[in-house]
């Protein structure tokens, strides 16, 4: 992806979060994934989850409300701001470890290898081309602890809502 494409992508998402209120609640498949793999853990705060594409924060809001430690990467500062306001209003800031603004491919470098129990993608990797997505996935997998898990929900072209 060239520098112009990166700037266009960032501008698109900044406008999206500035002009729309959306993404307040997580998807059922994500809830099932988190419940299946992490609800029985004695101390949920010890579980560290990285979210690629936090948007307005619905997914990490849910995970924080369930007691997990969360981090995220988002293209748009407006999305991050929206998420942080929600965390502040619901006293969830103690569950927020890190929030990075920028391109996943580069922002992933800010996290240590083997530091997450899971990473989550919910309809965000599809906004990158195939080769770049492969690189992002490779880097994100390096951030997983041994036995870590990942969740990806990837819609296709023509899916309702995109």
pLDDT at residue 162 above 50?
Answer: no
Residue 124 is predicted with a pLDDT of 87
* CB proximity list for 25: less than 8 A, separation 6 or greater: 58, 62
Q: Kindly state the average pLDDT of the residues 113-123.
A: 95
Question: Within a domain: residue 78?
Answer: yes
Q: What are residue 13's phi and psi, to 5 degrees? A: -75, -35
Question: Angle at CA 80, nearest 5°, toward 79 and 82?
Answer: 65
* 5 or 2, which is more confident: 5
Question: Within a domain: residue 94?
Answer: yes
Count of domains in the chain?
A: 1
Q: What percent of the chain has pLDDT over 90?
A: 67
Structural domain boundaries, residue 143: 3-19+27-153
Helix (H, G, I), strand (E, B) or coil at 13: helix
* Least trusted range by pLDDT, from 16-30, 115-129, 137-151: 16-30
Question: Within a domain: residue 105?
Answer: yes
C-alpha dihedral, 130 to 106 to 151 to 36, nearest 10°: 170
Residue 110 is predicted with a pLDDT of 97
Residue 161 is predicted with a pLDDT of 53
pTM: 0.84
Question: Within a domain: residue 149?
Answer: yes
Tens digit of each residue's pLDDT (9 = 90 or more) over 67-81: 999 999 998 898 899
Residue among 143, 114, 122 at smallest CA distance from 63: 122
**Residue with the two structure tokens 């906004």:** 127
From CA 113, how far away is CA 130, in angstroms rounded?
23
Question: Within a domain: residue 59?
Answer: yes
pLDDT at residue 3 above 60?
Answer: no
Question: Within a domain: residue 162?
Answer: no
CATH for 135: 3.40.50.150
* CB proximity list for 79: less than 8 A, separation 6 or greater: 13, 16, 17, 54, 55, 56, 57
Question: Within a domain: residue 64?
Answer: yes
What is the chain's mean pLDDT, rounded?
Answer: 88
Question: Within a domain: residue 160?
Answer: no
């Amino acid at each position: 992806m060239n520098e112009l494409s990166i700037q266009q992508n960032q501008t698109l998402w900044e406008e999206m979060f500035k002009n729309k209120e959306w993404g307040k609640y997580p998807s059922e498949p994500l809830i099932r994934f988190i419940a299946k793999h992490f609800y029985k853990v004695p101390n949920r705060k010890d579980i560290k989850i990285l979210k690629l594409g936090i948007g307005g924060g619905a997914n990490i809001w849910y995970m924080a409300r369930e007691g997990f430690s969360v981090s995220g990467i988002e293209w748009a500062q407006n999305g991050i701001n929206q998420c942080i306001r929600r965390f502040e209003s619901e006293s969830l800031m103690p569950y927020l470890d890190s929030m990075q603004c920028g391109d996943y491919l580069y922002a992933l470098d800010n996290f240590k290898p083997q530091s997450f129990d899971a990473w989550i993608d919910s309809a965000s990797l599809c906004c990158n081309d195939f080769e770049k997505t492969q690189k992002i996935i490779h880097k994100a997998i390096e951030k997983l602890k041994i036995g870590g898990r990942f969740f990806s929900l990837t819609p296709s072209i023509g899916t309702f809502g995109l």
